[in-house]
Chains A and B, each alone.
Chain A
Amino acid sequence: MPVRIDEIVTETEDKMLKTFKFVFLNKEDEERFQHKAGQFAELSVTGKGEVPIGIASSPTEKGYVKFTVNKTGLVTRYMHNMKVGDIMGIRGPLGNWYPWETLEGKNVVIIGGGFAFSTLRASIVYMLANRDKFKEIHVIYGSRSPGLLLYRDELAAWEAAGDIGMHITVDGTDDPDWKYNIGFVPTITEKKAPPADPDTYAIVCGPPAMIRFTQPVLDNLGYAHDNIINSLEKRMKCGIGICGRCNIGDKYVCKDGPVFTLNALNHMPGEK
């Protein structure tokens, strides 16, 4: 599906992350692109290739899609030099999504770190647009420093609106005006996460170290492994489960994932 770059926002002070807002060239494509928060898509740059990126906009935001892209490989590096008005492609939506059918009517705590926050942003915007369908919502989001937080304006707005519990944190800062938490995500989770309950679900998405250390915290709090939802990352090419590289056991992360409950992951070979 061909798209035009409509807006580019540099998100972080190290300029490694930019959010691209795309509009579809064809109206039919826009209607066909029906995604749910948690899914991803392949962004295509002719001459360079494709790259799988989580969709940062919520299905409730109409008329465009947003992706936050970290400058790493061949395609993303090129994208960082593209301009508003340039033409590229999107293939998707791909993969599964956070289990919204299950989450409705429940408490949700979102635990995110670093630049893995994009599909979580989609989720938050989606939940806010359907606020009455959910009970308590908490967001614990951390990065290394204030300048590396994504979507800072929106974070502030959500905090101000007050209908969700925002717990923003940084690993450390020398900014005297920093008014939020200081500490690693697992520590803040320990302090701020709501108590475990069959009706409380945690969505965890972030760098491997954060996930590794958050896990025991959630265990201590008593979260059942069916109530912990992870989103995984792999090298991907096809995005539809046929090129063979992103498997864990007999599951393909691109098609059967990227979202898995911890319980499901426990029953898969340890190749994350």
Chain B
Amino acid sequence: MIGYIDKIREVSRKLLTEEKVDMVIGYRKGSLPMMTEPCFVKRPEDVDTLVWDSNCRINLAAYLMDRKEKIGIIAKGCDSRNIINHLVENKIKREQLVIIGAPCKGMIDKKTVTQQFGQEIDEYQETEDQITVKGGGVEKTFQKVDVLQENCAICNHRNPVEYDELVGDLVEEQVDVDRYEDIRRIEAMDIDEKWNFFEDILSTCIRCYACRNACPLCYCPTCFVDESKPQWVGKGNDPADTRTFHFLRAFHCAGRCTDCGACERACPMDIPVRLFTKKLGKDCLELYGWEAGLNPDQRPPLDTFKPDDPEVGIK
């Protein structure tokens, strides 16, 4: 994965020079160690600003919505699945896109590394399997597999699902991952335990809606929380309103969420909001055998009806 960048720049330069695309969406170096910043490149001579490392966490599909240009876009497994979502939901046209596939072995979780390092990180380096961080006169090396983002660690679609170019060899998919261990643990709780569990994790929510805004699925012109006629949910930080928001947001992502982790990454309070969306992912998988963003020609389960759909709880 470490060597992708030459190929990324080469492909981008070619696409821009031959005017096959108006812009390439990728990542550039961040101002902080272990950070990259999503960016666009419009001129072939600027492609060298593009970078690639294990900090390219952001889901670039979030930047495609309603764009009119022809776009080259770098896509990991999750990005490509969200691009497919956009195609299915008519948010962008396939002809507009040149998907530059980047088979992914998972992105590093900066929060985990910072926590385990226990110091402010001043410098960062990585090799194929390891990362090394320095700061405060201390240096520490981690195995990448130990510090992946949680959603990357349990990812079973690391290769781009759809692509026009490929910047590296396809990687082996993880087959034996248990994606829903945490969900089952909650499912096993009794009803009040469940309630209190979520009451606790949502107690720090500041209702900034960062999870929604960062989500590549959340593109409604007016979100239900912003509606005033009628007003579905109160705008203060009352726990009942907060929970209503999280519950409904998750439900709006049912059958669409690719577990890209954008919501949790954006949450300034580190609330594990994926616990909601993953539950719905699990239900969709178990009830309808569905995983989102794998096929641009297939409608998602919640907007189709089949006579043999399981009728859960319908009397």
Interface string of B191-231 (1 = CB under 8 A from A): 00000000000000000000000000000000000001101
By beta carbon, the residue of chain B nearest A74 is B228
Per the bound structure, the CA–CA distance linking A74 and B228 in Å amounts to 6
User: Interface range on chain A: under 10, 10 to 19, 20 to 34, or 35 or more?
Assistant: under 10
A262 to B: closest C-beta gap in Å: 33
For the complex, is A83 an interface residue (Cβ under 8 Å from B)?
no
Say if the beta carbon of A73 comes within 8 Å of chain B: yes
Within 8 A of B (CB), among A61-86: 73-74, 77
How many interface residues does chain B have, given as a range?
under 10
Report Cα–Cα, A74/B226, bound state, in Å: 12
Report the separation of the CA atoms of residues A77 and B228 in the bound assembly, to the nearest whole angstrom: 11
Q: Across the interface, name the chain A residue whose C-beta is closest to B227.
A: A74
Residues in A neighbouring B231, C-beta threshold 8 A: 74
- Summarize B's interface: helix, strand, loop or mixed: loop
Min distance, Cβ A70 to any Cβ of chain B, angstroms: 15
**Distance of B154 from chain A, by nearest CB (Å):** 42
Complex interface: chain B residues within 8 A of A74 (CB): 228-229, 231
Contacts of A73 in B (CB 8 A): 228-229
A44 to B: closest C-beta gap in Å? 16
Cα distance, A77 to B229, chains bound together (Å): 9
B235 to A: closest C-beta gap in Å: 11
> A residues within 8 A CB of B228?
73-74
A232 and B228 alpha carbons, distance in the complex (Å): 24
Closest to A72 in B: B229
Bound Cα distance from A77 to B230, whole angstroms:
12
A77 to B231, CA, bound (A): 14
How distant is the Cα of A73 from the Cα of B228 in the complex, in angstroms?
8
CB of A240, distance to nearest CB on chain B (Å): 21
Residue of A nearest to B230 (CB): A74
Alpha-carbon gap, A170 to B241, bound state (A): 48
- Name which residue of chain A comes closest to B229, CB basis: A74
In whole angstroms, what is the CA distance A231 to B231 when docked? 31
Distance of A68 Cα from B229 Cα, bound (Å):
21
For window 224-257 of B, CB contacts with A under 8 Å fall at 228-229, 231
Question: How long is the Cα–Cα vector from A268 to B228 in the complex, in angstroms?
Answer: 32
Given the complex, which residues of A lie within 8 Å of B229, measured CB to CB? 73-74, 77
> In angstroms, how far is the closest chain B Cβ from the Cβ of A45?
13
**Digit string of A69-105 for contact with B (CB within 8 Å is 1, else 0)?**
0000110010000000000000000000000000000
In residues 185-204 of chain A, which contact B (Cβ within 8 Å)?
none
A73 to B231, CA, bound (A): 12
B-side contacts of A77, CB under 8 Å: 229
Report A77 CB to chain B, min CB distance, Å.
7
Once bound together, how far apart are the Cα atoms of A161 and B294, in whole Å? 74
Q: Mark B165-202, 1 if CB is under 8 A from A, else 0.
A: 00000000000000000000000000000000000000
Question: Closest approach, in angstroms, between the C-beta of A52 and any C-beta of chain B?
Answer: 15
B224 CB to closest chain A CB, in angstroms? 15
Q: Which residue of B lies closest to A48 (CB)?
A: B228
A73 to B, closest residue via Cβ: B228
What is the minimal beta-carbon distance from B230 to any residue of chain A, in angstroms? 9
Q: How far is the CB of B221 from chain A (nearest CB, A)?
A: 16
CA distance A85 to B27 in the complex (A): 62
**B272-300 interface bits toward A, Cβ cutoff 8 Å, 1 = contact, 0 = none:** 00000000000000000000000000000
A73-B222 Cα distance, complex, nearest whole Å = 14
The distance from the CB of B192 to the nearest CB of chain A, in whole angstroms, is 34
- Distance to closest chain A CB from B232 (angstroms): 13
Bound together, the chains give a CA A195 to CA B228 distance in angstroms of: 47
- 1/0 per residue A223-252: CB within 8 Å of B? 000000000000000000000000000000
CA distance A193 to B229 in the complex (A): 42
What is the chain A residue whose CB lies nearest that of B231? A74
Considering the complex, give the chain B residue whose CB is closest to the CB of A77. B229
CB of B126, distance to nearest CB on chain A (Å): 42
Closest-CB distance, A109 to chain B (whole angstroms): 38
Interface residues of B in 16-51 (CB under 8 A from A): none
For the complex formed, measure the closest distance between the CB of A243 and the CB atoms of chain B, giving whole angstroms: 14
Give Cα A74 to B229, complex, Å: 6
Give the docked Cα–Cα distance between A196 and B296 (Å): 63
User: A194 CA to B231 CA in the complex, in Å?
Assistant: 49
Shortest B231–chain A CB gap in Å is 8
Complex CA distance for A199 and B1, rounded to whole angstroms: 73
Q: A233 to B142: give the CA distance in the assembly, Å.
A: 56
A241 to chain B, nearest CB (A): 22
Q: Of all chain B residues, which has the CB nearest A75?
A: B228
A-B contact pairs, 6 of them (CB 8 A): A73-B228, A73-B229, A74-B228, A74-B229, A74-B231, A77-B229
A residues sitting closer than 8 Å to B (CB atoms) are 73-74, 77
Question: 6 tightest A-B contacts by CB?
Answer: A74-B228, A74-B229, A73-B228, A77-B229, A73-B229, A74-B231
